[in-house]
Amino acid sequence: MPPNSKSLIRTAFEYSLLIVPLYLLAGAPLLRSFFGSPGETDDEVADLISKLNTSTLMIPDEDLICPKSTYVVHILSRDPLVAYIEDFIRNDEASHLVEISEPNFTPSTVWAGSEESHDMTIRLSEKALLPRDHTVKCIEARARAFQGWRPDVFIEELYSQRYGPSGYYRHHFDGGVSSSRFGRISSFMVYLDASCTGGGTNFPKLKRPENKSWCKFIECGDEISKGIDGEELEGITFKAIKGNALYWENFRPDGSMYEESWHAGLPVKTGTKIGLNIWSWYQKGYEELLKSQKSP
| Residue with smaller CB distance to ligand NAG, 53 or 91 | 53
Window contacting ligand NAG (CB under 6 A); options: 49-57, 88-96, 104-112, 141-149: 49-57
**Considering the rule CB under 6 A, would residue 211 count as an interface residue with ligand NAG?**
yes
| Residue with smaller CB distance to ligand NAG, 5 or 55 | 55
Cα-Cα-Cα-Cα torsion 122, 183, 194, 145, nearest 10 degrees, comes to 180
CA separation for the pair 127, 136 (Å, rounded): 16
Question: Which listed residue (32, 118, 207, 226) binds ligand NAG by CB under 6 A?
Answer: 32
Question: Which listed residue (5, 7, 213, 295) binds ligand NAG by CB under 6 A?
Answer: 213
Q: Smallest distance, Å, CB 44 to ligand NAG?
A: 20
Short-list 178, 181, 174, 202, CA closest to 23: 174
CA separation for the pair 278, 86 (Å, rounded): 16
| Residue with smaller CB distance to ligand NAG, 71 or 214 | 214
**Considering the rule CB under 6 A, would residue 55 count as an interface residue with ligand NAG?**
yes
**Considering the rule CB under 6 A, would residue 41 count as an interface residue with ligand NAG?**
no
| Residue with smaller CB distance to ligand NAG, 56 or 77 | 56
| Residue with smaller CB distance to ligand NAG, 132 or 284 | 132
Window contacting ligand NAG (CB under 6 A); options: 51-59, 101-109, 176-184, 195-203: 51-59
**Considering the rule CB under 6 A, would residue 56 count as an interface residue with ligand NAG?**
yes
**Residues 6 or more apart in contact with residue 36 via CB below 8 angstroms:** 113
CA separation for the pair 179, 184 (Å, rounded): 10
Q: Residue 215's CB: how many other CB atoms inside 10 A?
A: 13
Please say whether the beta carbons of 217 and 239 come within 8 A.
yes
| Residue with smaller CB distance to ligand NAG, 207 or 269 | 207
Q: Burial level of 232, CB count in 10 A (0-12/13-18/19+)? A: exposed
**Considering the rule CB under 6 A, would residue 157 count as an interface residue with ligand NAG?**
yes
| Residue with smaller CB distance to ligand NAG, 130 or 233 | 130
Q: Smallest distance, Å, CB 54 to ligand NAG?
A: 8
Preceding omega of 60 cis (within 30 degrees of 0)? no
Is the C-alpha dihedral spanning 103, 106, 112, 116 positive or negative?
negative
Given strand 168-172, what is the order of strands in its sheet?
Answer: 123-124, 168-172, 263-265, 201-203, 236-238
Q: Smallest distance, Å, CB 18 to ligand NAG?
A: 29
Point out which residues pair with 161 in neighbouring strands. Answer: 127, 275
Question: Which listed residue (11, 53, 195, 256) binds ligand NAG by CB under 6 A?
Answer: 53
Residue ranges binding ligand NAG (CB under 6 A): 32, 53, 55-56, 157, 211, 213
